[in-house]
């Protein structure tokens, strides 16, 4: 039977064909180079990135069969044209090439038997897939022959994450969830004059937190900068910043991760010099980082800006955002929360 598997390859980008003149033109084999030492396919620079694959389709014994791979719409939406379907014929040593095959997208043949021969190294054609698609491959050559297939596209620049709360709530576009730590009276979170207010009174020395939370899946590469406006009105916590100087009227907390580690980064806003920057690990090995900014009491501090990798250089993903007030009694406001590729306009 035929076999399909993921193959760990190293890819660089390749120049696309002149799709305006001939969107189905086959790229000459000379524009793809095989690294004989590493077995990796290498290409000259062009701003496309790997979308799907690479997949290897191996001709087994018995009758040829058609194998399929589903290309999800959610993945496609992150890329734009030109979208190129690419085929490498054979293995890294130039052996086990395919002389006859059919490669289709949603039943439409992109490459047919006439496109393959023992002298064909690689093929490329521009395709149009936007709403999800099915890749189907049938290898009809001798057992052991194989194709490596992948799809490249131009990655769309994601729009920034932004909420100015001008719609008067926090329940849609985007949707936040109320969140709190109770120890005594529960604080309130509300939208006042198109800004979010965190308010708690009557705590009597019992700490707590009140705010909003949102789970995300944002790449730090695309969302490297945090910007927000804050107003620290009042707080009653001991020492002005509470336990370990980590309690403030306004805080933004980002949960960051990479392949092996997690960091919880808190950007606090306080007044009267009651701020302290430090980091520590908890028992589970998570890194906690505190970055506090001293502002003027009861006055809007506009455009507070932080580069996430200045705080934790290893950050790759933002998977949760919290905005809240923290301490005993507190009164604070936040507005114009932004995550994006540059300083907020």
Is the confidence at residue 188, as pLDDT, over 60?
yes
- 50-90 tens-digit pLDDT: 888 889 999 999 999 999 999 877 667 677 788 899 999 99
Mean pLDDT (whole number) for 121-139? 89
- 4-57 tens-digit pLDDT: 433 333 222 222 333 333 323 333 333 444 444 444 444 444 456 788 888 999
Helix, strand or coil, per DSSP, at residue 251: strand
- 140-171 tens-digit pLDDT: 999 999 999 999 888 776 668 899 999 888 98
Distance CA 187, CA 203 (A): 9
Task: State residue 72's pLDDT score.
Answer: 79
Task: State residue 51's pLDDT score.
Answer: 82
Is the confidence at residue 202, as pLDDT, over 90?
yes
- Minimum mean pLDDT among 40-44, 204-208, 276-280, 296-300: which range? 40-44
Is the confidence at residue 224, as pLDDT, over 50?
yes
Task: State residue 44's pLDDT score.
Answer: 40
Half-sphere exposure of 49 (CA within 13 A, CB side): 10
Q: Is residue 43 within 8 Å of residue 32, measured between CB atoms?
A: yes
Burial 205-231 (b: 16+ CB within 10 A, else e): eebbbbbbbbeeebebebbbbbbbbbb
Task: State residue 190's pLDDT score.
Answer: 96
- Minimum mean pLDDT among 44-53, 146-155, 209-218, 304-313: which range? 44-53
Task: State residue 43's pLDDT score.
Answer: 41
Kindly report the average pLDDT of the chain as a whole number.
84
- Give the CATH number of domain 3-155: 2.60.120
Is the confidence at residue 214, as pLDDT, over 90?
yes
Q: Look up the pTM and report it.
A: 0.59
Task: State residue 196's pLDDT score.
Answer: 97
Task: State residue 184's pLDDT score.
Answer: 85
Whose CA is closest to 128, among 58, 24, 218? Answer: 24
Distance CA 215, CA 316 (A): 15
User: How far, CA to CA in Å, does 252 sit from each of 92, 182, 265?
Assistant: 50, 18, 8
CA atoms 127, 133, 139, 144: torsion sign: positive
Task: State residue 5's pLDDT score.
Answer: 38
Is the confidence at residue 302, as pLDDT, over 90?
yes
Quick check: bond before 174 cis, omega within 30?
yes
- 228-244 tens-digit pLDDT: 999 999 999 999 999 99
Helix, strand or coil, per DSSP, at residue 182: coil
Task: State residue 345's pLDDT score.
Answer: 56
Task: State residue 15's pLDDT score.
Answer: 28
Mean pLDDT (whole number) for 290-319? 96
Q: Class assignment of domain 161-340?
A: mainly beta
CATH 2.60.120 domain span(s) along the chain:
3-155, 161-340
Is the confidence at residue 281, as pLDDT, over 70?
yes
């Amino acid at each position: 039977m035929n076999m399909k598997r993921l193959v760990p390859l190293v890819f660089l980008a390749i120049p696309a064909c002149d799709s305006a003149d001939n969107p189905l033109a086959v790229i000459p084999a000379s524009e793809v180079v095989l690294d004989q030492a590493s077995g990796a396919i290498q290409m000259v620079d062009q701003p496309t990135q790997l979308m799907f694959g690479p997949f290897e389709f191996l001709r087994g014994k018995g009758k040829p069969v058609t194998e399929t791979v589903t290309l999800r719409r959610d993945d496609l939406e992150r890329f734009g044209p030109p979208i190129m379907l690419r085929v490498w014929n054979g293995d890294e040593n130039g052996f086990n090439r395919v002389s006859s095959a059919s490669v289709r997208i949603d039943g439409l043949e992109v490459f047919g038997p006439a496109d393959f021969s023992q002298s064909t190294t690689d093929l490329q054609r521009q395709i149009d897939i936007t709403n999800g698609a099915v890749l189907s491959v049938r290898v009809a050559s001798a057992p052991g022959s194989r194709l490596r297939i992948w799809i490249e596209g131009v990655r769309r620049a994601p729009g920034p994450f932004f909420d100015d709360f001008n719609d008067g709530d926090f329940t849609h576009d985007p949707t936040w969830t109320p969140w709190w730590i109770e120890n005594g009276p529960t604080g309130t979170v509300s939208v006042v004059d198109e800004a979010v207010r965190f308010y708690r009174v009557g705590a009597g020395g019992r700490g707590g937190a009140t705010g909003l939370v949102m789970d995300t899946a944002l790449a730090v590469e695309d969302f490297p900068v945090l910007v927000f406006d804050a107003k620290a009105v009042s707080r009653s916590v001991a020492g002005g910043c509470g336990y370990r100087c980590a309690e403030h009227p306004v805080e933004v907390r980002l949960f960051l991760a990479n392949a092996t580690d997690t960091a919880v980064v808190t950007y606090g806003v306080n007044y009267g010099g009651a701020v302290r920057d430090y980091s520590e690990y908890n028992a589970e090995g998570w890194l906690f980082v505190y970055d506090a900014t001293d502002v003027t009491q009861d006055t809007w501090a506009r455009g507070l800006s932080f580069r996430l990798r200045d705080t934790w250089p290893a950050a790759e993903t933002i998977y949760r955002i919290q905005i809240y007030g923290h301490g005993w009694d507190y009164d604070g406001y936040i507005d114009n929360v932004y995550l994006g590729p540059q300083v907020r306009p």
